[in-house]
Chain A
Amino acid sequence: MEQWVVVSIIIAAYLAVTLTIGLLAGRKSTDTVAGYVAADRSFGLVAMYFVTGASVFSAFAFLGGPGWAYSRGAAAFYILAYGAIGMAPFYWMGPRAAALGRKFGFVTQAQLVVGRFPSRNLSAMIAVLSLVAFVPYVTVQMRGAGIVIEAVTDGHVPLWLGALIAYGIVIIYVLKSGAMAVGWTNTFQGIFMVVIAWTLGLYLPYRLYGGIGPMFEQIAEARPDLLVPPGLNASGDPWSWGAFSTLILVSAVGLMMWPHLFMKAFTAKDDDTLRRTVILFPTFQLFLIPVFLIGFAGVMFDGAPPSSDFILPYMILETHLPAVVVGLFCAGALSASMSTGDALLHASASVFVEDGVAKYKDLDERQQQRLMQVIVLVTGAIAYYFALDSESSLVLLLASAYGLISQLAPPVVAAMYWRRATTLGVVVGLLAGVATAFFFYMNPELKPYDMHEGILGLLVHIPVLIGASLLTKEQNADHIEEFFS
């Protein structure tokens, strides 16, 4: 049998197992909005660990990370650095948000912000912002799935079809089973990816160079510029420290502001589960190192993939591994893509309906769920359109989304920790931050020190939030007391 046929069979089997788990999971949750959005607040440590971990092991890290290691060297280290920093504050913020969620019945982060700063326009702004940031993120995941399938089937299954099949399955189980499906499929996929990543990440350097040390010795000899941060930029020239450092900062700030992650505070069974998830989270960051090694293994390898995002499947194919291994690897990469994509689609629908539409129109539970399912389809379709069209690299797509999502941090922190913050202050701050980030995104040549537009946005956002809050009338003392007690 030809290799690509064997590979396709393994992928098909893998997809079937994922679909089954996803559909079975839904039978465990109640048929309510709280069930669909927050899995009835029932996730234990294992599910929580893999649900958050899956966000690290996305197509972005699994394909984009090695792609960067291969073409831009040490620039890729930023992906390792930010996770631990970004997650740590959640040790305290998570349980606090969870307590507020239980007290007031919040299931999204906009509900938390608006619970403190009552304004349906603010809620709608957060919903739109989240959705706009989600689309490039989902696009990254779909494109990743398509890339892998196209590469390992020798083009017999092209990118458009691969992405369509993988995400068709994701959409089916997200529609059917909601948060519960995301939790259970991520656990299965998480274990799968970690095993695959370590096996191949350690094996390839040995096979090609006789070990990790010898591999880096060879790179240090031939391409020392690749091994020293901040690495190289997209055109192969030395990258700027400003861009490297602020990309770490904006990713750290933005990480927990992603609705699909923040909302995990409302999905967790209890506070200890949340705290332990935070403690263990950086281990996922370490699991990424072998994946990067695969990218580095490509540096001294003869021949080059069509684009750096293809380096991982390219190395797997060019080193003539058995078809079964290629198939398993491919399933691992699909796991990475799908386990992030499902959470994203699910969260975007929850946010859009709960925080956007439901604020302006009275909907009963059934209508809300129905509408969420429509939004899953619409977001999926938009992302799919961009996935086929996209010219830019996976990492760059996502980096731009972080500029937007990081602007949610000041409102969320102010809602939970700053009594003197006012609704007007938060609204004006958010508008100023988003406008600034957008301006520098459109005019990158104006960025001071090559800083990330999200950080520049925050530099305007935070002073405006504080200033405008202090200039406006304090919130009603009873309201604040209720929120802080």
Chain B
Amino acid sequence: MSLKTARILTGLYFVAMTYFVTWPGLLPFSRIRPMVLGLPFSLAWIASWIAGSVLVLYLLDIVEKRFRDAGSDG
């Protein structure tokens, strides 16, 4: 994957996250059931976006590192 694509995808993830944890993106998920691992759905929903962000940043780092090692800063 090119550096630019990785950066755009990462940016999109965080834009989407911002949308889905605030109004109006959170509205459809602002409910109690189904409970996930004993947590109300809304809490599990927000927690999943946080967990996802660790993964997305980690993947971004792999791509960024490859380009840094190759000596170009993009």
- Residues of A participating in the B interface, judged by any CB pair closer than 8 Å: 74, 77, 80-81, 83-85, 88, 91, 211-217, 220, 224, 227-230, 241-242, 244-245, 248-249, 252, 275-276, 278-280, 282-283, 285-286, 289, 292
Contacts and interface: CB of A to CB of B under 8 A. Distances in A.
Contacts of B46: 77, 80-81
A259 to B, nearest CB: 23
Contact of B50 (A91, A224, A241, A286): A286
B57 A80 contact: no
A220 B40 contact: yes
Nearest to B18: A85
The 8 closest A-B pairs by CB, nearest first: A213-B38, A212-B38, A245-B22, A241-B23, A84-B53, A81-B21, A279-B57, A227-B40
A279 B42 contact: no
B58 interface: yes
Given A77-B42, A220-B32, A245-B23, A286 B51 contact: yes
B50 A285 contact: yes
A292 B46 CA distance: 14
Contacts of B57: 88, 91, 278-279, 282
B68 to A, nearest CB: 9
A332 B51 CA distance: 24
A224 B38 contact: no
Which of B26, B30, B43, B47 counts the most A-chain CB atoms under 10 A from its CB?
Answer: B43
Contacts of B32: 216, 220, 224, 227-228
Interface of B: 10, 14, 17-18, 21-24, 26, 30-33, 35, 37-40, 42-43, 46-47, 49-51, 53-54, 57-58, 60-61, 64
Contact of B53 (A74, A88, A276, A292): A88
Nearest to B58: A279
A81 B48 CA distance: 10
B30 A289 contact: no
Given A84-B17, A286-B47, A216 B39 contact: yes
A95 to B, nearest CB: 10
Given A220-B32, A282-B53, A286-B51, A85 B38 contact: no
B23 A211 contact: no
Nearest to A228: B30
Contact of A84 (B24, B38, B50): B50
A278 B60 CA distance: 12
A66 to B, nearest CB: 14
A229 B42 contact: yes
A248 B19 CA distance: 11
Nearest to B40: A227
B50 A282 contact: yes
Contact of A244 (B18, B22, B50): B22
Given A228-B32, A249-B22, A279-B57, A212 B43 contact: no
A85 B58 contact: no
A241 B35 CA distance: 22
A480 B57 CA distance: 30
A452 B43 CA distance: 22
A292 B51 CA distance: 17
Contacts of B49: 81, 84
B35 A91 contact: no
Contacts of A292: 43
